[in-house]
Amino acid sequence: MGYIISSFLMNCQPRVESTMVNARIRKTIDATNAKVGYIGPPTDFNYDCEHLGTGPQTLVEIVLGHHFFFSTILNAKNPIIGGGILERPDKDAILTTVDTFVEKGNIVRPDWNGFNVLLLNVAQAAAFDLGLVLKSSNSIESTKFV
């Protein structure tokens, strides 16, 4: 029997980073026996989760169709990408691979945007909404507080 995917998690820990998202994932799993696939370092989820691998190479293998979880992952309805990816030096390469994954899996469509980034800090979402985005890595040092 195949997997029914609730979520595909990559490099995030919803239990720590977003308890509300974690609770909804757990509720979906309990109600529907849905499965969750996860790429990243081993972590303690409070629900069953299929650990697929630890790094970006696993995502590349999935996108290329060389991973045992390929067809299942492409049917994921709600992939969640951890905000930690945005802090990695290889983030551009990973996001390019994620973009291919999103395109192949038909995850973003006119009726649904299933591509989500789970931010490490809740205040980041509000800052983005207000247009407060760092222009360079030394923006913090040059900021003047009044």
- pTM value surpassing 0.85: no
Which residue, 112, 113, 124, 46, is CA-closest to 82?
124
Cα dihedral sign for 53, 59, 60, 64? positive
Q: Does the pLDDT at position 145 exceed 70?
A: no
Q: How far apart are CA 129 and CA 3, in angstroms?
A: 36
Which residue, 79, 1, 67, is CA-closest to 36?
79
- Domain membership of residue 29 as a residue range: 5-142
Chain segment 6-40, per-residue pLDDT in tens: 567 777 778 877 788 888 888 888 888 777 888 88
Chain segment 37-67, per-residue pLDDT in tens: 888 888 888 888 888 888 888 888 888 888 8
Angle CA(100)–CA(104)–CA(108) in degrees, nearest 5?
90
Count of domains in the chain? 1
Mean residue pLDDT across the chain: 76
Identify the CATH number of the domain in which residue 33 sits: 3.40.228
